[in-house]
Structures are given as structure tokens and as C-alpha cells.
Amino acid sequence: MKHVGFTQMKDGTAEDYAFLTEHEVAYTRGTAGRLLKALVDLDESLSGYQVTRLGHSLQSATRAWRDGADIDWMVSALLHDIGDIYAPHNHDEYAATILRPFVREQCAWVVEKHGDFQMVYYGHHVGADPHKRDRYAGHPYFEDCATFCERWDQASFDPDYDTLPLAHFAPMVEEVFARTPYDAQVICSGQREPLVATPRS
């Protein structure tokens, strides 16, 4: 079989859907590679900063790595702005949607909300609410998002920072996206892991 026999999904057979599932599983195995390519493509997105968007992403992940963060935090830091190309108005939600099946709930929530939390740094300059993060006061992951933004995101626009290359993080991306999606042992609903642990040099 080279392709399914139906032109409307409702007419598909068990054989058709078994064929499609086989192709889907094979395609899914390439998710990490496509994300790594998309990171490189970030260099074609928003400009004006002293570092490229890829440079910012790598610098954020490098800071996470040096803070002793675990793999979920590092991959989340690396991919937190992956939506800048295709979803500039909700890049944080876009990135979180990609990450959510494969990382701890804590990390996905922080990535999803980091845009609101970042407003504290510049909202007053652009006519936006600098206190937008306050709507999440009392949330279990509030301080995690505040720390993520302070230590790794807003600080990572320095062209002189000793940033690790994408090749350093690529195996981590491969490992995370090889996980079983929505595995309860990965999602760990309600569990918190520190952003800063044993520092790496």
C-alpha cells in the first residue's frame, strides 16, 4: 500500500488506519530533529537585539545548565521561544504546547506563562501591564516562573556571554522527545524541581 484508499476519513478501513499509524510513528521519531532545525531558523525571526533569537535560546539553556537544572528545565529553556517564527503573538503558548507531552507539568506551565511574567521588565515602556504576572499569585509554580524569567530569560541577551553550542543540547532534545507522550511519570503533576541545584562549571 502506497497510500490510503479513502478521500473522507469516515470511509477509512482498519487497514488504512494501521498503515497511517505506522507512518505517523515513524514521522514522530523525527520530532527532535525538526525542532533543532527550527531553532536554527530562529535566526531569521525577530531582530534588533544584540544576540540572535537562536543565541538567546542557547544562552538561556546555558544559564540553566550552569545552574545545575535538570534536563526538563534545560530543554524548556532552550525551546521557550520556539514559537517566535510562527506564533509571534502567543509564542509562549505555542512553545508550551510542543513541550507539554514530554516534560514535567511545572516546566510546561512556566514556558506557557513566561510572556506574562516578562512584562514586569518592560511593560511600562510599551503601554502594557507590568503587573500581568500578578493574576497568577498563589499558583504553585509562580516563583518558578519568576525565577526562570529573572535568571535565564531576561538576562540572556549578552553578546559576550560564554554560550554553549546547539550541539551540546541536541542530545537532551533527542532524549526528551523520545519519551512516551503524556507519561504520568514524566508529567509529574504538582511536582516541583528546583531551577538552581548543584552548579556546573
Model confidence pLDDT, tens digit, residues 53-101 = 999 999 999 999 999 999 999 999 999 999 998 898 999 999 999 999 9
CATH for 36: 1.10.3210.10
Q: 171 with 74: CB under 8 angstroms? A: no
Q: For cell 523520545, what's the residue?
A: 178
Give the ranges where 123-165 is alpha helix by DSSP (H).
142-147
Tracing cell 520556539 back to the chain, one arrives at 82
Q: What is the pLDDT of residue 187?
A: 98
**Is 90 within a domain?**
yes
Let me know if residue 200 belongs to a domain. no
Count of domains observed in the chain: 1
User: What is the chain's mean pLDDT, rounded?
Assistant: 95
Q: Is 27 a domain residue?
A: yes
Within a 13 Å sphere around the CA of 182, how many CA atoms are in the beta-carbon half?
A: 1
Residue 105 in any domain: the answer is: yes
Q: Which domain holds residue 168?
A: 12-187
Does residue 195 sit within a domain? Answer: no
Predicted local distance difference test score (pLDDT) of residue 46? 67
Reported as a single tens digit per residue, the pLDDT across 15-59 is 999 899 998 988 999 999 999 999 998 887 667 899 999 999 999
Give a yes or no: residue 1 inside a domain: no
Degrees to nearest 5, angle at CA 103 with 23 and 157: 110
pLDDT (tens digit per residue) in 96-152: 999 999 999 999 999 999 999 999 999 999 999 999 999 999 999 999 999 999 999
Identify whether 83 is part of a domain: yes
The pLDDT, as a whole number, for residue 117 is 98
> Which of 32, 62, 91 has its CA nearest to residue 199?
62
Residue 55 contacts by C-beta under 8 Å, 6 or more apart in sequence?
159, 163
Q: What is the pLDDT of residue 48?
A: 86
In a domain, 108, yes or no: yes
